[in-house]
Amino acid sequence: MKEKFYQYIQNLQDAITSGLEAIDGQATFKEDIWKRPEGGGGRTRVIENGAVFEKGGVNISGVHGKLPKAMQSYFNVGDVDFFACGLSLVLHPKNPMVPTVHANWRYFEMYDADGNIVDSWFGGGQDLTPYYLFDEDAKHFHKICKTSCDNHNADFYPVYKKKCDEYFYNAHRGEGRGVGGLFFDYCKATDDMSMQDWYNFVTEIGDSFLEAYVPIVERRKNATYTKDQKDWQEIRRGRYVEFNLVHDKGTLFGLKTNGRIESILMSLPPQVQWRYDHHPASGSEEERLITVLKNPVDWI
């Protein structure tokens, strides 16, 4: 399974970066191949200063070796070996009318002293972070998420949509990071779902990503905007940074397993503002966004 999924994310990285370069029309992805001293490595691709994307990364990695002590405590296990691979992407558009998007699809294995698999699971998801809320964009994103889920289990979308709203939540701010999408983790073999079934589900979600995001970008990328609207985008990006550095489990795992720092922190936007005690004007579009982020919406 690990070889099959790693091959899949290599192909998916190629498909997504090619699709995004076509949309941008100006910038291309820079590629870095890196090795992890303890085992494994990855392929980082970053786009910057484009016509559409101010900064973005589409990264894959496959790492293995002894599970570090800090992560043994996290998983409540002893000395074990592990393998983890996944694709992680974040795109920060230039135009504040285009939402930021994040996605991740991953696979994990643990082994005993004899090299036997003692645990394995899939995880992942995708979520949308708008700066100006267009209901039709949120509905489109969620519709694609639901359609992909429904092809496997009608219960998946409502469950994983709720988990996404709960996970991508800045508790210290009392608001969601964005308008959500899907979040699933510890997807293990059961009587109802084999690991092959989970593979089929996760890869369908991955394959649907461009369909979920590209139409939104095309719709908004040429919209006019003011300096005040750009400032608002950068203030909201600050909330994105706060989540990734305070709450995100993927950031923690990367740092605790001696991952490549540049690849882990690729998700951070290039231009950000933190203004003291900033509040949007009453009745404004900015205030409407905040109101929605405090109360998750059923977009379907």
Cα–Cα distance for residue pair 84/76, rounded to 1 Å? 17
Please check whether residue 152 is in contact with residue 204, taking contact to mean a CB–CB distance below 8 angstroms: yes
Residue 235 has pLDDT above 90, yes or no: yes
Q: Give the pLDDT confidence of 136-185 residue by residue, as tens digits.
A: 999 999 999 999 999 999 999 999 999 999 999 999 999 999 999 999 99
Please check whether residue 276 is in contact with residue 165, taking contact to mean a CB–CB distance below 8 angstroms: no
pLDDT at position 259 is 77
Residues that are catalytic: 102
Query: 7 pLDDT band (50/70/90 cuts)?
Result: very high
Q: At what angle do helices 195-207 and 2-24 cross, to 10 degrees?
A: 10
Helix, strand or coil, per DSSP, at residue 173: coil
Residue percentage of the chain with pLDDT more than 70: 100
Query: 202 pLDDT band (50/70/90 cuts)?
Result: very high
Go through the domains of the chain in sequence order and give each one's CATH number: 2-294 (3.40.1500.10)
Query: Scanning the structure block, which residue is given the tokens 């989970």?
Result: 198
194 CB burial (10 A radius; 0-12, 13-18, 19+):
exposed
